């Protein structure tokens, strides 16, 4: 497992809340304006679930995937996805010792 993947599995729910604050990501759902937000993790101190999106493109190697963290609107089910790499990069700058 590479370093990013290992760090990605240590990001927990409350880290993502901090990430949203740091990046100015609105709580409000862009589809229905509800602020009932669900972060896809077992809980605030549990690791975030990671989703893989397969890239299908003639120039991409077979099996190339992008890893994503997602938040889902509890009202309408609209899903927003965020690149794991960017969150991990932010976390490393935020707490270099961890
Ligand atoms: Zn919604």
| Contact present, 22 and 92 (Cβ < 8 Å) | no
- pLDDT tens column, 27-70: 999 999 999 999 988 888 999 999 999 999 899 888 899 999 99
Helical spans, DSSP H, in the chain: 3-8, 13-23, 84-94
Q: Tell whether 71 is covered by a domain.
A: yes
Residue 51, domain extent: 3-90
State mean pLDDT over 2-12.
88
Cα(18) to ligand 1 centroid in Å equals 21
Ligand 1: centre distance to CA 36 (Å):
8
Whether 97 has a pLDDT exceeding 80, the answer reads no
Provide the number of structural domains found in the chain.
1
Average pLDDT, the chain: 92
95 in a structural domain: no
> Ligand 1 centre from 77 Cα, in Å?
6
Ligand 1 ion: nearby residues, β-carbon < 5 Å: 29, 31-32, 34, 73, 75-76, 78
Residue 73 within a domain: yes
């Amino acid at each position: 497992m590479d370093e990013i993947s290992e760090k990605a599995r240590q990001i927990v729910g409350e880290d993502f809340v901090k990430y949203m604050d740091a990046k100015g990501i609105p709580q409000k759902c862009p589809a229905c304006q509800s602020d009932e937000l669900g972060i896809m993790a077992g809980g605030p101190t549990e690791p975030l679930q990671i989703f893989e999106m397969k890239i299908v493109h003639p120039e991409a190697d077979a099996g190339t995937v992008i890893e994503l963290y997602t938040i889902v609107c509890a009202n309408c089910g609209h899903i927003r996805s965020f690149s794991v790499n960017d969150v991990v990069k932010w976390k490393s700058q935020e707490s270099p010792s961890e």
